[in-house]
Structure 1
Amino acid sequence: MRIGAWDADSEPPAPPGELASLADAEEERGLALVRACADLWGRQPLSRNGSRGKYVWCDLVVA
């Protein structure tokens, strides 16, 4: 199963940190969670409705 989200910010996402080190963090936990749970994830630049941005996605194996 592929899950994805479009973001109007064209800057690449910050590299995901280790989930354990982000346990008390209030920001930037999203990609760490994706990295911990997903089988594969990535991003690609994308234009949508005249706006530049990015598409971030992850693949999960359905058991």
Structure 2
Amino acid sequence: MYVYLRRTQSKPPRWMGRLETATPRLSFALGFLLLGLFPSDLLTSIAVGSYLAAHGEP
């Protein structure tokens, strides 16, 4: 507990600061990058959309 209370505050990484001031172009590119890293999200969205379309749901 002593070490936790006495530790210094660390600075956030540079890339995190860049996210705070991201332009729409950077946000869009980052979205596509994350989509490539997590393709299961895309597959899940397609499956849910197909189910809703087939069953007449809004």
Is the structural similarity TM-score above 0.5?
no
Kindly indicate which of the two structures has a greater share of residues assigned to helix. 2
Query: Which structure carries more relative contact order (alpha carbon 8 Å, separation 6+)?
Result: 1
Relative to total residues, which structure has the larger strand share, 1 or 2?
1
TM-score relative to the length of structure 1: 0.24
- Which has the higher Rg, Structure 1 or Structure 2? 2
